[in-house]
């Protein structure tokens, strides 16, 4: 896959560019209904998740602040089975964060909380991470930074505008959990001496 990825990335970038051209309101109705993904939305999410997991998208998108895609794998809180979601991280003050576009009802948020923040990040390879929830008073600037880069696809869900002052992001912060991505170092197996 590492030889195929550089060849396919320009096509993925072109596809992403075309999707950005779809008006936000129309794409939101097509992909989401009452804050949940539609059948079309789930299919598109699975496709993007596969692209990201395979390393076929750029690891980070150009621009400021730095953002990038990853597939987040959490353990289903009811099924115990792995659940995957394509998410976009944002870099803020040297750390990477995830913002829940769908708020408290997002499956990855509930699954992560149920499993003590354990998750796996997939981009080309699968690596363990820990998701540490950001306290409410610290969320607004992170949400604002993330939204500034993702507003084309998230504006409908957050109900704010890109030009809104920080107070608007403070107002919506209670409804949108934020998690810092902390790299986990798996413990080496115990020696059997």
Residue 67 lies in a domain: yes
CATH number at residue 46: 2.30.110.10
Residue 57 lies in a domain: yes
- The Cα angle at residue 10 between residues 5 and 14, in degrees rounded to 5: 135
What's the rounded Cα separation, in Å, for the pair 131 and 83? 15
Number of domains in the chain: 1
Mean pLDDT along residues 132-150: 96
Please determine, for residue 24, whether its predicted confidence score (pLDDT) is greater than 90: no
Residue 43 lies in a domain: yes
Residue 189 lies in a domain: no
The mean-pLDDT minimum among 122-131, 171-180, 182-191 falls in 182-191
Q: What is the pLDDT of residues 37-91, one digit of tens each?
A: 677 766 777 777 777 777 777 788 888 999 999 999 999 999 999 998 889 999 9
Tokens of 129: 């991470």
What's the rounded Cα separation, in Å, for the pair 62 and 85? 22
Residue 129 lies in a domain: yes
Name the DSSP letter for residue 139.
Answer: H
Domain limits at 157? 5-183
Residue 191 lies in a domain: no
Residue 54 lies in a domain: yes
């Amino acid at each position: 896959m590492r030889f195929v990825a550089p060849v396919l990335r320009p096509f993925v970038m072109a596809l992403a560019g075309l999707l950005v051209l779809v008006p936000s309101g129309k794409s939101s109705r097509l992909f989401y209904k009452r804050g949940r993904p539609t059948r079309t939305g789930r299919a598109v999410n699975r496709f993007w998740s596969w692209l990201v997991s395979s390393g076929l998208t750029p690891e980070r998108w150009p621009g400021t602040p730095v953002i990038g895609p990853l597939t987040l794998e959490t353990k289903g809180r009811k099924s115990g089975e792995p659940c995957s979601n394509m998410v976009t991280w944002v870099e803020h003050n040297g750390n990477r964060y995830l913002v829940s576009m769908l708020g408290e009802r997002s499956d990855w948020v509930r699954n992560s909380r149920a499993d003590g923040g354990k998750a796996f990040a997939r981009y080309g390879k699968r690596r363990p991470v820990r998701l540490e929830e950001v306290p409410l008073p610290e969320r607004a600037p992170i949400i604002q930074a993330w939204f500034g880069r993702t507003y084309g696809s998230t504006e409908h869900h957050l109900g704010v505008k890109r030009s809104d002052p920080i107070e608007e992001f403070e107002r919506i912060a209670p409804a949108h959990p934020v998690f810092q991505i902390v790299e986990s170092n798996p413990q080496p197996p115990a020696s059997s001496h």
